[in-house]
């Protein structure tokens, strides 16, 4: 049985870039849940949301997560920010993965996401800042519940710094 790590956290926290770096350092495969969904569905997350709505996206997300959790090799999986919403997903994640929460402060996320709204259907509203704040507050307890380890990003830390800090914390935690 390989070691499986899942990265969770709000949109824009760096799951994908940190995950790729972690996977390379751990000589593990890297998978991104959103990219996997887009590959299977042959359309972008935005198109999927527009055509089918959020509930349908969540069902596909749950199904894809469940399938990827069966993989046997060493794996780093980056999850979409809302993958922790269904209780069954949180249970699956804690059972099948060592879950790391990348916790970035709200103010920083608002700054980052202002530049990265394109392609994120939940952030297309005019009152974007309010929406981010609301989602962030609702999801905090869910990230907390699902994770085995919290990595708190500090101002100025690069992707490399984050990957190093998580590697160190993993070595201590396991």
- Rounded CA separation 146/84 (Å): 7
Q: Which is nearer to ligand S3P, 77 or 174 (CB)?
A: 77
- Rounded CA separation 32/38 (Å): 10
Least distance in angstroms from the C-beta of 174 to ligand S3P: 25
Least distance in angstroms from the C-beta of 155 to ligand S3P: 21
Least distance in angstroms from the C-beta of 4 to ligand S3P: 18
Q: Which is nearer to ligand S3P, 38 or 157 (CB)?
A: 38
Measured distance between the N- and C-terminal CA atoms of the chain, rounded to whole angstroms = 15
- Rounded CA separation 9/99 (Å): 10
Q: Which is nearer to ligand S3P, 110 or 122 (CB)?
A: 122
Question: Phi first, then psi: what are they for 32, rounded to 5°?
Answer: -120, 125
Q: Which is nearer to ligand S3P, 4 or 120 (CB)?
A: 120
- Which residues contact ligand S3P by CB under 6 A? 11, 15, 34, 45, 80-82, 120-122
Pairing mode of beta strands 29-32, 75-78:
parallel
- Rounded CA separation 139/28 (Å): 28
Least distance in angstroms from the C-beta of 11 to ligand S3P: 4
């Amino acid at each position: 049985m390989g070691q499986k790590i899942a990265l969770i956290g709000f949109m824009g926290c760096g799951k994908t870039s940190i995950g790729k770096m972690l996977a390379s350092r751990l000589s593990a495969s890297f998978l991104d849940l959103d990219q996997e969904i887009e590959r299977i569905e042959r359309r972008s997350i935005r198109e999927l949301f527009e055509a089918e709505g959020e509930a349908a996206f969540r069902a596909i997300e749950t199904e894809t997560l469940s399938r990827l959790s069966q993989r046997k090799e060493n794996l780093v999986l980056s999850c979409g920010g809302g993958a922790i919403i269904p209780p069954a997903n949180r249970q699956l994640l804690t059972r099948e993965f060592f879950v790391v929460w990348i916790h970035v402060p709200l103010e920083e996320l608002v700054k980052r996401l202002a530049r990265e709204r394109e392609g994120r259907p939940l952030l297309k509203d005019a009152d974007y800042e309010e929406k981010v704040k609301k989602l962030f507050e609702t999801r905090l307890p869910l990230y907390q519940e699902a994770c085995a380890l919290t990595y708190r990003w500090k101002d100025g830390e690069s992707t490399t710094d984050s990957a190093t800090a998580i590697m160190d914390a993993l070595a201590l935690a396991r």
